[in-house]
């Protein structure tokens, strides 16, 4: 009973080994030959199973086929020698005696090792009284065994091909998944780039919208002024007279607080706030004075020239030091000589604005002067508009 159980299980690895033994690849055939030799020498059940499963017929077909590689002939003869030498049922090899004897007589020097191995097998068979094929019944039995062996080999070959095909399909699927993943990554990067561009465009549109809102507010104020009656209580001065100039400050846009009855706006959020002063001055010498109620700090933009409360002059992203720091309650004067070419500005702020929470300042006056009040300063620095 144990023998009958072992035989089917042995076929599971004998058939693949026999298939590899006939491989055109020398390394695969040699590895299969070494494995067969080892198990043939160590197990009588393996020897019996190999003989009953058509090994002899397979050997006969390959040994008589001129297209069979020499290394396959060699490895088949090694397996036969192991079976015969280890007291297997050598009568089953009687059908191979004539073929092996013919191989032993081959004088081709390239097949010398094959011939020597064939002679050893013939010597062992002859010593056991086997010098030719057995009876017709034995030959028929061998043919049946051979057909069974061929059938099993074909079945195992189909199984191996099926496994290879499955592996190839899995490899293709993995490649497809990797390619899809790469495409998804590229699409995500493209969407991210487009989203960043849209955010930039939205920011730019918001900025332009705020600027347009300020422009509209200023135009509305100017339109209202042009329609209003002239104020007889305001002293009118000619272009070339000195004295106070009536001014108006456009209500700023943005976040701020304003006390009732006062024209003072206090920032409540860190953002740009522009306070245009009307009317615009194009001739004469004018002086605009500010009081820094609370000099927390002031910002600047790309197209402005201004004095920071730290005493530095900033213009177009460049800083020049040398002025006194602006402290709380200091008065800051901005004077522009528009009659001189090039025009000269001292402490000029193109558009005075605040962007720090808590900043506070007051416009004290805008005056037209008959002459400049600027004194010569020995260590003065001149900054040209860029």
Helix (H), strand (E) at residue 179: helix 136-227
DSSP calls for 336-364: EE-SSSS-EEES--SS-B--STT-EEEEE
In a domain, 375, yes or no: no
The pLDDT tens digits of the residues spanning 19-44 come to 887 888 888 888 888 888 888 888 77
Are 154 and 256 contained in the same domain? no
In a domain, 291, yes or no: yes
Are 7 and 150 contained in the same domain? yes
Residue 366's SS3 state is strand
CA gap 329, 292 in Å, rounded: 5
Strand partners, 315: 305, 318
**Would you say 295 and 326 are in contact if contact means Cβ atoms under 8 Å apart?**
yes
How deeply is 83 buried, as exposed, middle or buried, from its count of CB atoms within 10 A (0-12, 13-18, 19+)?
buried
Last residue of a domain, one of 159, 174, 209: 159
Determine how β-strand 243-244 pairs with β-strand 256-258: unpaired
In a domain, 383, yes or no: no
CA distance between the termini of the chain: 106
Last residue of a domain, one of 138, 159, 180: 159
**Would you say 308 and 349 are in contact if contact means Cβ atoms under 8 Å apart?**
no
CATH number of the domain encompassing residue 278: 2.60.120.920
**Would you say 305 and 317 are in contact if contact means Cβ atoms under 8 Å apart?**
no
How deeply is 16 buried, as exposed, middle or buried, from its count of CB atoms within 10 A (0-12, 13-18, 19+)?
middle
The pLDDT tens digits of the residues spanning 7-23 come to 455 556 677 778 887 88
Residue 3 has pLDDT above 60, yes or no: no
Are 6 and 117 contained in the same domain? yes
Share of the chain above pLDDT 90, in %: 9
Helix (H), strand (E) at residue 159: helix 136-227
pLDDT band at 143 (very low <50, low <70, confident <90, very high): confident
**Would you say 83 and 51 are in contact if contact means Cβ atoms under 8 Å apart?**
yes
The pLDDT tens digits of the residues spanning 286-331 come to 787 776 666 554 444 455 666 677 777 666 667 777 666 767 766 6
90: Cα separation from own chain's centroid? 68
Determine how β-strand 360-369 pairs with β-strand 243-244: antiparallel
Residue 227's SS3 state is helix
pTM: 0.34
Are 143 and 263 contained in the same domain? no
Are 153 and 247 contained in the same domain? no
In a domain, 377, yes or no: no
Q: For residue 34, give both structure tokens.
A: 């070494």
Instruction: Say what the pLDDT of residue 356 is.
Output: 44
CA gap 99, 66 in Å, rounded: 12
Last residue of a domain, one of 159, 176, 192: 159
In a domain, 171, yes or no: no
345 compared with 349, residue with greater pLDDT: 345
**Would you say 321 and 234 are in contact if contact means Cβ atoms under 8 Å apart?**
no
Are 249 and 139 contained in the same domain? no
Residue 288's SS3 state is strand
Are 151 and 267 contained in the same domain? no
Residue 160 has pLDDT above 80, yes or no: yes
**Would you say 29 and 68 are in contact if contact means Cβ atoms under 8 Å apart?**
no
Residue 234 has pLDDT above 90, yes or no: no
CA gap 176, 166 in Å, rounded: 15
281 compared with 133, residue with greater pLDDT: 281
CA gap 183, 371 in Å, rounded: 73
Domain count for the chain: 2
In a domain, 183, yes or no: no
In a domain, 110, yes or no: yes
What count of residues does the chain have? 386
In a domain, 376, yes or no: no
Are 265 and 134 contained in the same domain? no
Are 139 and 251 contained in the same domain? no
CA gap 241, 28 in Å, rounded: 112
Secondary structure letter of residue 261 according to DSSP: T
Are 17 and 142 contained in the same domain? yes
CATH number of the domain encompassing residue 125: 1.25.10
Domain of 111 in residue numbering reads as 2-159
């Amino acid at each position: 009973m144990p023998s009958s159980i072992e035989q089917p299980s042995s076929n599971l690895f004998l058939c693949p080994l026999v298939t590899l033994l006939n491989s055109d690849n020398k390394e695969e055939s040699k590895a299969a030959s070494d494995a067969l030799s080892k198990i043939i020498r160590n197990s009588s059940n393996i020897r019996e199973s190999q003989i009953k499963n058509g090994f002899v017929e397979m050997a006969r077909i390959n040994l008589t086929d001129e297209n069979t590689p020499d290394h396959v002939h060699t490895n088949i003869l090694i397996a036969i020698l192991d079976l015969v030498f280890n007291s297997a049922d050598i009568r089953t090899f009687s059908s191979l005696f004539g073929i092996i004897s013919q191989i032993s007589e081959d004088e081709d020097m390239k097949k010398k090792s094959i011939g020597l191995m064939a002679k050893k097998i013939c010597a062992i068979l002859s010593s056991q009284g086997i010098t030719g094929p057995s009876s017709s019944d034995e030959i028929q039995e061998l043919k049946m065994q051979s057909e069974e062996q061929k059938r099993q080999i074909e079945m195992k070959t189909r199984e191996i091909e099926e496994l290879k095909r499955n592996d190839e399909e899995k490899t293709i699927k993995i490649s497809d998944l990797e390619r899809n993943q790469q495409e998804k990554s590229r699409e995500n990067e493209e969407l991210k780039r487009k989203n960043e561009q849209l955010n930039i465009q939205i920011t730019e549109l918001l900025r332009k919208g705020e600027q347009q809102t300020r422009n509209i507010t200023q135009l509305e104020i100017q339109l209202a002024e042009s329609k209003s009656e002239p104020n007889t209580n305001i002293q009118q001065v000619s272009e070339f007279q000195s004295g106070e100039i009536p001014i108006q400050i456009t209500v700023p846009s943005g976040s701020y607080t304003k006390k009732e009855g006062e024209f003072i706006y206090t920032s409540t959020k860190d953002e740009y706030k522009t306070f245009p002063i009307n009317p615009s001055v194009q001739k004469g010498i004018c002086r605009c004075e500010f009081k820094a109620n609370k000099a927390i700090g002031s910002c600047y933009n790309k197209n402005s020239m201004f004095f920071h409360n730290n005493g530095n002059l900033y213009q177009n992203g460049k800083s020049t030091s040398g002025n006194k720091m602006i402290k709380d309650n200091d008065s800051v004067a901005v004077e522009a000589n528009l009659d001189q070419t090039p025009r000269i500005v001292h402490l000029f702020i193109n558009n005075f604005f605040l962007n720090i929470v808590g900043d506070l300042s007051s416009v004290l006056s805008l005056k037209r002067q008959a002459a400049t009040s600027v004194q010569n300063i020995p260590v003065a620095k001149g900054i040209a508009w860029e």
